[in-house]
Amino acid sequence: MLLRRAFLVGSVLWLAAIPLAAFAAGRPSAASAAYACALGVYAIGHVVCHQLPVRSFHLWNTSLPVCARCTGIYLGAAVTALVHASRPSQSTRFGGQARVVLLVACIPTALTLIFEWTTGITPANWIRALAGLPLGAAVAWAIGMVN
């Protein structure tokens, strides 16, 4: 139960931090504390993402701290975590069903990666974000199923 709550809070806060960081970073007159928080979010984003501006959504003339695919993953995880939080607690072992769901959820992301690597063409950011949604949702669903 504690893991579910921590994941819910963490995923929603991280999703909120992504556009807020771009907002703060895009304001030259931002307070130093807001700018420092934005810098922290961009630093964390750099650990998990390539942060290429051409592969990222832009808000307030500033690229988000993670690429479009990562944004989709985090959106899928946060929405699914919120859905899980609104339901009664259901605990089960992380069994074959969850593994199959995770494997199937990887397919859209894998297909976009294979397409990029074999053609040299990068799909539009909205396609990359949509491909990441099932993966984030499946991970959040699997975490919600853990005791």
pLDDT tens, 27-69?
877 678 888 899 999 999 999 999 999 999 999 999 999 999 9
Residue 58 vs residue 142, higher pLDDT: 58
Q: What is the mean pLDDT of residues 81-99?
A: 72
What does the pLDDT read at residue 33?
A: 85
Is the confidence at residue 83, as pLDDT, over 60?
A: yes
What does the pLDDT read at residue 31?
A: 76
**With b meaning 16 or more CB within 10 Å and e meaning fewer, what string describes 55-64?**
bbbebeebbb
Q: Return the structure tokens found at 28.
A: 């030259």
- What is the C-alpha to C-alpha distance for residues 58 and 74, in angstroms, rounded to an integer? 16
**CA distances for 34 relative to 52, 65, 127, angstroms:** 23, 15, 31
| Phi, psi (deg, nearest 5) at residue 58 | -120, 135
pLDDT band per the 50, 70, 90 thresholds, residue 3: confident
Instruction: State the distance between the two ends of the chain, measured CA to CA, in whole angstroms.
Output: 7
pLDDT band per the 50, 70, 90 thresholds, residue 7: confident
pLDDT band per the 50, 70, 90 thresholds, residue 91: low
Q: What is the mean pLDDT of residues 99-126?
A: 95
Q: What is the mean pLDDT of residues 83-110?
A: 80
